[in-house]
Chains A and B, each alone.
Chain A
């Protein structure tokens, strides 16, 4: 379930793009989701106002996150919930395992949680001999296929239904060659039902943690979080520190934005509120930092923590749609992943902020108004200054800066470049080392530059 770390985004994307038919279909499928989002958003005249409110609530919350976290802890504890604090992924995994170990649990059902993906919880637990079953349909498909999700909301968006048929045939014994979604969904439901009924403990993610009530809200379309929690004796909910919102009434803003942005639905089918454990059962909330306080301390990148993981920036991103989620080699892919990942590991993720044209569609679609493309630009500056780009690029940039800052040098270099292109156009085009020319012609070279023309015309 790990990524191929040897490939950077560009190389992995090029590989994804080899199968043109798949790319077309991946792009169309995600564009369809984006279009549904547009319809839902444009049906609310107050949409932009909601975004402003959501952004303001999150900004405020982040500005006094410590207080709200403590308030949440106190209220949750009063409700009988056990609260745990984890500094990083390792601590998070250890805490979860210790709860499982205390109950002697062997079988776990888990509803969708990007945080547990980020922490690689499944690997950790499986190594200890515990069976973890992802119960979200898309998550289960990628889990059976032994790969990570490629999208934060649509984990199996890169897999076609025929391939799902093959995966289910292999693991669940469905008919060979089956690709009817209804048939496959029923098979998955049957399979998961057994897992739900025999699970010892249910793990869920958290969409919102309400400070004033000490309760959590989990949004799903399949109801798998509820089913898991209600059938198991113990519920463990894992959340990043940024999931806090101050008050219940704020859900009126976020729940309206979340599903519309994610899939174009007015609201997720299930918005499940968990406030206290049922009689005779236990409820735990693990609150995880894992680099978030570092991000909170980086002023230019702080507001990436406003993210509600709706996935809209992935759906709208023309690069994501054509490169696939795995090319981002990070639990969270797409534009938001590209500004979160360097915070976790600059060296490993230095390629991601460059995997963008800075078109800004992500920023305009984001329901909590994160300035995603500006942060991509800022990350580029940081990564260069911290020495995470190739030295060749640095030298080239220096030469370019020298040429472009002097009119004399610029005119000369321009003349030279035009001559070279004229003399060697085919050479430049066909060279394997010239990526421009792989699928594109170079511009036709004019006899003179504008400044030469101007001088001639105006006699200066």
Chain B
């Protein structure tokens, strides 16, 4: 099984520790993981801004970098959803198609492909899980609270395998944090207000750690938390699951 690691551009630059944790976690599970050096970005920043027609370069570079792998794993639900929905290339549509069906968000991969049943890590803290919307609603990483379906949550199930970890129950378990790509600057006031109400929810339930499947949502909330100097540590789920 050839597994490729896709590291979102901003994780590569600002959160290398998250990519390292993802890599180590996958390696510890006995997987051989490669990091294709030519990779850059999934193209979402342009596309969500209305510039999908500028993403052809990103798309062909992505296909060039990730052709031939059995699975492509990425520690971001948002980037994966974008690829699944929008990775196309007129010149190599068959390959684009193949990649779209083989790219996985980390928790999805650990659940559906690896079929992980237990983890030998401990993390004795009270943790709030922020469900990134694109992963949750788009990739169906967990049941959304609007839909009348039996509850499930892949990230939550994985966190439950961690020894000593206590999950903070939340009043609004899947409300958007307000990051939203360029939204976080073009609608700064709403974006920050949304983030602050998520944080109030974590505090209300005495969480000392905030985690999630998307570093972008976490970066925004961490920015708010650090500005207010609140006692909440922000960690990507890969960091907790890998014991790093």
Binding site for B on A (CB under 8 A): 9-10, 13-14, 17, 23, 27, 31, 38, 41-42, 44-45, 47-48, 316, 318-319, 322-323, 354-361, 363-365, 377, 380-381, 383-385, 389, 393-394, 397-398, 400-402, 404-407, 410, 414, 417-418, 435-436, 438-443, 445-446, 448-455, 458, 460
Known: A360-B138, A418-B13. A322 touches B193 (CB 8 A): yes
| Most chain B beta carbons < 10 A, residue from A357, A451, A452 | A357
Q: Is the pair B222, A443 in contact by a Cβ cutoff of 8 Å?
A: yes
Alpha-carbon distance A456/B113, docked complex (angstroms): 30
| Set of chain A residues within 8 Å of B147, measured between Cβ atoms | 48, 364
Chain A to chain B: the 3 pairs with minimum beta-carbon distance, closest first: A405-B57, A357-B180, A440-B223
Q: Does B51 contact A (CB under 8 A)?
A: yes
9 further interface pairs, Cβ-Cβ under 8 Å (given A10-B188, A44-B148, A384-B50) = A381-B53, A397-B49, A397-B51, A404-B43, A405-B41, A406-B61, A407-B37, A436-B188, A440-B192
Q: Does B45 contact A (CB under 8 A)?
A: yes
18 pairs, CB–CB < 8 Å, chain A vs chain B: A9-B187, A10-B187, A10-B189, A318-B194, A322-B194, A357-B176, A357-B178, A360-B138, A363-B137, A365-B146, A400-B46, A400-B54, A401-B57, A436-B185, A439-B188, A441-B223, A451-B7, A455-B37
Nearest opposing residue in chain A for B132, CB measure: A359
Q: Is the pair B50, A13 in contact by a Cβ cutoff of 8 Å?
A: no
Q: Which stretch of B15-23, B87-95, B104-112, B117-125 is in the interface?
A: B15-23
Known: A41-B148, A355-B187, A364-B147. A318 touches B14 (CB 8 A): no
Q: Is the pair B180, A380 in contact by a Cβ cutoff of 8 Å?
A: no
Alpha-carbon distance A343/B65, docked complex (angstroms): 40
| Chain B interface main SS type | helix
Alpha-carbon distance A380/B50, docked complex (angstroms): 4
| Most chain B beta carbons < 10 A, residue from A418, A436, A448 | A436
Q: Using a CB-CB cutoff of 8 Å, which residues 31-69 of chain B contact chain A?
A: 35, 37-41, 43, 45-58, 60-61
| Set of chain A residues within 8 Å of B2, measured between Cβ atoms | none
Give the Cβ gap from A47 to chain B, nearest Cβ, in Å.
4
Alpha-carbon distance A404/B39, docked complex (angstroms): 9
Give the Cβ gap from A204 to chain B, nearest Cβ, in Å.
31
| Set of chain B residues within 8 Å of A365, measured between Cβ atoms | 146
Binding site for A on B (CB under 8 A): 7, 9, 11-17, 19-20, 23, 35, 37-41, 43, 45-58, 60-61, 133-134, 137-138, 144-149, 172, 174-176, 178-197, 219-220, 222-224, 226-227
Q: Is the pair A318, B176 in contact by a Cβ cutoff of 8 Å?
A: yes
Q: Is the pair B189, A360 in contact by a Cβ cutoff of 8 Å?
A: no
| Chain A interface main SS type | helix
Q: Is the pair A359, B50 in contact by a Cβ cutoff of 8 Å?
A: no
Known: A27-B197, A406-B40, A406-B61. A441 touches B227 (CB 8 A): yes
- Return the contact of B16 from the options A9, A44, A453 (Cβ within 8 A): A453
Q: Is the pair B40, A404 in contact by a Cβ cutoff of 8 Å?
A: yes
Give the Cβ gap from A363 to chain B, nearest Cβ, in Å.
7
Q: Is the pair A410, B46 in contact by a Cβ cutoff of 8 Å?
A: no
Alpha-carbon distance A267/B161, docked complex (angstroms): 44
Q: Is the pair A401, B58 in contact by a Cβ cutoff of 8 Å?
A: yes
Q: Is the pair A405, B50 in contact by a Cβ cutoff of 8 Å?
A: no
| Most chain A beta carbons < 10 A, residue from B19, B23, B191 | B191
Q: Is the pair B176, A48 in contact by a Cβ cutoff of 8 Å?
A: no
Alpha-carbon distance A402/B176, docked complex (angstroms): 30
| Set of chain A residues within 8 Å of B183, measured between Cβ atoms | 354, 356-357
Nearest opposing residue in chain B for A14, CB measure: B189
| Set of chain A residues within 8 Å of B144, measured between Cβ atoms | 360-361, 364
Give the Cβ gap from B194 to chain A, nearest Cβ, in Å.
5
Alpha-carbon distance A440/B193, docked complex (angstroms): 11
